[in-house]
A and B are shown apart, each in its own frame.
Chain A
Amino acid sequence: MLDAHVVKARTRFTVDVALKVASGEACGLFGISGAGKSTILACIAGSETQDAGHVRLDDVTLFPPLLPLHRRSIGYLTQDANLFPHLQVAENVRFGLTNGARETSESWIVELRDRLNLEPIWHEPVHAISGGQARRVALARMLARKPRLVLLDEPFAGLDRYLVRELLATIARWQKELGFTMLVVDHASDVLERLCPRAIAIEEGRIVQDARWPELRAHPATPLLGELLAPL
């Protein structure tokens, strides 16, 4: 289970959010841009240090004290693929595997490669691949280590609908198969709904509603949330 209480001062407001996500559950953080969703994810990932609160993942305390990044079983995918520019696609995907795990993980790597259709670019340098391909490589690299917690921060921004649909289906399938806990940030409700049955709505760093999507759509807690959920 992910048990997090994130307190982090920002310029306009302080993010103060407490949430619990059961093991294997997928939960979406929903709200307008600048509501503090990405800050929550960054603090849970450990790329930002929160001012107070706590983060626990199953029996491991991530904060406080701040657990070093390499000891966290967390996969973190953002809208920037952040591939290592000096490595080929295959080297990027295998980056997080230790020497001992490489051989035992080979069948898993092959599965990732084939299901994400990376074979044609497998030995390409990353500067030679498209943005959509880069996002798929980043997904494969993140899942290669089979993390217990997956954090997705608008990983589909800027991608075409076809690719987004494909990636959503792939992630949803793997989430069920591997059973990892997942926290997803997006301001597109249809994207979140495909991945997460539960949504936590955030406004100015606070939780305004924590519900299933039908409940959220039927009774949005705030006018802003209602506007966000209304069709265009």
Chain B
Amino acid sequence: MLLRRTGAVIFAAALLYPLCGLFVSVGPWRWDGGTIAGAVRVSLVLTGIAMLVVVGLGTPMALYVARASARERLWWQAVLLLSVLLPPLALGILLSLAFGPHALGAFFAPLGIRLTNTPLAFVVTQVYVSIGYYVLGAVAAIDSVPKALEIQGGLLGQDRWNVFWRVTFPIARLGLAVALSLAWVRALTEFGAVVITAYYPAGMPVALWTSLENFGLPAVMPLLVVFLVTALPLPWLAHILAQRRLTRA
């Protein structure tokens, strides 16, 4: 036991080692409160909206894929993996072309809706980069719920929605929380795609980049700290809540 725990401690220490960089002297830190607050607000609010979309669209899809036949499921998984495997920069370029003024953007422009460099573009990009992670994780979580329990739920008079809400979701919630955490982190930290499609409004990753470009490391360090402090709580909270309810059950 002690040996295994020591191994886990070494693993965790190695994983967190890059954070030592925060203690390397780069000169006096440059706090730009306005930039930091703006970037944090943009990232948290728009990522929150993106996660609502991801959960709202991704959960029914995950339910469908999890209960599809093995052959059909392979096709859906290929689609999901494709969205996950695309390099972020490539995805950003493809999104800016597909949603740009020469494609879908042309239909929205007369309505006054711009699909690049707007909060909407930011959210759309975040949804695209993260939904594949959420659905793949959610499928695995829903897979862990025995189908026989859902059948019992149905025969006990519960319609599909109630069966999901009262049987599938409570049993799968830890896995769903993990999937949501992955999607949240993926969206919040996204840079490659967002920098192409939504340079404005600047979220934290883009603010990090522009601070590095304009003012160097002293301006980046405070942003890094704020980034870590704001990114961690939500996925951690999701894990804690799911774990606690699971333990209580």
Chain A residues in the interface with B (C-beta under 8 A):
45-47, 68-70, 72, 74-76, 78, 80, 82, 84-87, 95-96, 98, 125, 141-142, 145
B146 within 8 A of partner (CB) = yes
Most buried by B among A72, A82, A141: A82
B155 within 8 A of partner (CB) = yes
Instruction: Report A-chain residues with C-beta under 8 Å of the C-beta of B152.
Output: 76, 82, 84
| Contact in complex: B249, A125 (CB < 8 Å) | yes
Given contacts A70-B157, A84-B153, 11 further A-B contacts (CB under 8 A): A45-B151, A46-B154, A70-B163, A76-B155, A82-B146, A82-B152, A84-B149, A85-B171, A95-B166, A96-B157, A142-B156
Query: Can you report 14 residue pairs joining A to B where beta carbons are below 8 Å apart?
Result: A45-B151, A46-B154, A47-B148, A47-B155, A68-B154, A69-B151, A70-B157, A70-B160, A82-B152, A85-B171, A95-B156, A95-B166, A96-B157, A96-B158
A72→B151 CA distance, assembly (Å): 12
Which of B148, B155, B160, B249 is close to A86, meaning CB atoms less than 8 Å apart?
B249
CB proximity to A under 8 Å, residues B160-212? 160, 162-163, 166-167, 170-171
Taking the closest CB of chain A, its distance from the CB of B167, in whole angstroms, is 6
B32 within 8 A of partner (CB) = no
Taking the closest CB of chain A, its distance from the CB of B184, in whole angstroms, is 24
Instruction: Report A-chain residues with C-beta under 8 Å of the C-beta of B148.
Output: 47, 78, 80, 82
Taking the closest CB of chain B, its distance from the CB of A48, in whole angstroms, is 10
| Contact in complex: B155, A85 (CB < 8 Å) | no
Instruction: Report B-chain residues with C-beta under 8 Å of the C-beta of A74.
Output: 155
Total interface residues on B, using CB and 8 Å? 22
Residue ID in chain A nearest B162 by CB atoms: A70
4 closest Cβ contacts across the A-B interface? Answer: A69-B154, A96-B156, A86-B249, A86-B170
Q: A69-B151, A84-B149 are in contact. Are A141 and B249 (CB under 8 A)?
A: no
| Contact in complex: A45, B157 (CB < 8 Å) | no
| Contact in complex: B155, A87 (CB < 8 Å) | no
Instruction: Report A-chain residues with C-beta under 8 Å of the C-beta of B245.
Output: 86
A96→B171 CA distance, assembly (Å): 18
Binary contact readout B108-147 vs A (1 if CB under 8 angstroms, 0 otherwise): 0000000000000000000000000000000000000010
Residue ID in chain B nearest A101 by CB atoms: B157
B159 within 8 A of partner (CB) = yes
Q: A76-B152, A78-B148 are in contact. Are A86 and B159 (CB under 8 A)?
A: no
Residue ID in chain B nearest A97 by CB atoms: B157
A145→B155 CA distance, assembly (Å): 10
| Contact in complex: B149, A145 (CB < 8 Å) | no
A176→B224 CA distance, assembly (Å): 72
Instruction: Report B-chain residues with C-beta under 8 Å of the C-beta of A141.
Output: 156
A98→B249 CA distance, assembly (Å): 22
Instruction: Report A-chain residues with C-beta under 8 Å of the C-beta of B163.
Output: 70
